[in-house]
């Protein structure tokens, strides 16, 4: 794996809860070897972003990829069990 390879990317994430927009066009890119932290005041959307990235909640808009594989609609169990890596390189036909 390339040291600078993007391993997780969330782009254009939008999520509303109870009619309130919690995330609007949120973006996060994590490259191999990097460590990130989410900081902000209570209610700023930190937990919501983590819940969307891990598959616990579906975004209203946007896309999450892990290892270049779209995991936006995958369950947390599939993501955690290596679902993205298992589907990598598989082709139909």
Q: Which sequence spans correspond to the domains of the chain?
A: 6-87
pLDDT score at 83:
61
pLDDT in tens, 7-19: 999 999 999 999 9
Q: Which CATH superfamily is domain 6-87 in?
A: P-loop containing nucleotide triphosphate hydrolases (3.40.50.300)
pLDDT digits (tens, 9 = 90+) for 53-79: 999 999 999 999 999 999 999 999 999
- Lookup result for tokens 């919501």: 48
Distance CA 66, CA 71 (A): 7
pLDDT > 90 in the chain, percent: 77
Residue 86: the pLDDT is: 47
- List phi, psi (to 5°) of 59: -75, 155
The reported pTM is 0.82
> CA-CA distance, 8 to 27, in Å (whole number)?
11
CB 22 within 8 A of CB 12: no
């Amino acid at each position: 794996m390339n040291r600078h390879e993007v391993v997780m990317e969330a782009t254009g994430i939008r999520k509303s809860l109870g009619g309130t927009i919690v995330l609007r066009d949120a973006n996060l890119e994590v490259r191999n070897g990097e460590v990130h932290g989410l900081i902000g005041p209570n209610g700023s959307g930190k937990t919501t972003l983590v819940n969307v990235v891990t598959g616990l909640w579906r975004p209203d808009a946007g896309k999450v990829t892990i290892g270049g594989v779209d995991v936006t609609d995958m369950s947390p169990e599939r993501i955690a069990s290596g679902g993205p890596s298992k589907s990598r390189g598989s082709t139909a036909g």
